[in-house]
Structure 1
């Protein structure tokens, strides 16, 4: 499997799983809780990283301002939105 990420987006693939590891002995409800906690942490980190102020430059020809920011994404999806997928996995675990 190939992972494609930008910036710190790679942690979106592993952070919720790492948060669920301590709950492996508690069954699927514990693992789902760990995934939800990891998804919440990932959403917070992603929001903070992707909403920073970037460097702004003014184009001399048009007078428009251009802002350059670093992106933090996994498979071209911003980190905070990957958390929705992890939360959906946790809910499916709870239902199934």
Structure 2
């Protein structure tokens, strides 16, 4: 079960939209044993995109209360598993490092 608030689900969709094509392209060009490197590249790209999108979406915006007319700050909350979107970008980058290390060990037959 995926838990999100606001546009937090975009984290999963962006990651899938980057990783699947990158993995398939590397697999068709270089072979199936190097496909995880394409997925790692997709994770890096999606991590960067999610970080900047999360920064943009979670920025507090000034406004006015509709009934009283007083100044207020509207805080946006776009999360995935209770983690703000911009920090999910770091999780995706960490996953890219993990996939890269595991792929290198697999290619070098150390596992």
> What is the TM-score with the length of structure 2 in the denominator?
0.70
More helix by share: 2
Note the 1:36-51 alignment, pairs <5 A.
Answer: 36-51=44-59
Deviation for aligned residue 1:28: 1.2
SS at match of 2:77: coil
Aligned length: 89
SS at match of 1:71: coil
SS at match of 2:73: strand
Deviation for aligned residue 1:55: 3.0
Deviation for aligned residue 1:75: 1.4
Superposition RMSD in Å: 1.9
Deviation for aligned residue 1:68: 2.7
Q: Gapped runs of 5+ residues in structure 2?
A: 27-34, 66-70, 103-111
How far apart, CA to CA, are the structure 2 residues paired with 1:74 and 1:51? 16
How far apart, CA to CA, are the structure 1 residues paired with 2:84 and 2:62? 16
Q: Deviations over 1:11-62 (max 9, x none)?
A: 11221121011122321111100110011111110000111414355xxxxx
1:95 and 2:101 are equivalent in the alignment? yes
Q: Report if the CA contact (8 A) 1:45-1:80 is conserved.
A: yes
1:68 and 2:74 are equivalent in the alignment? yes
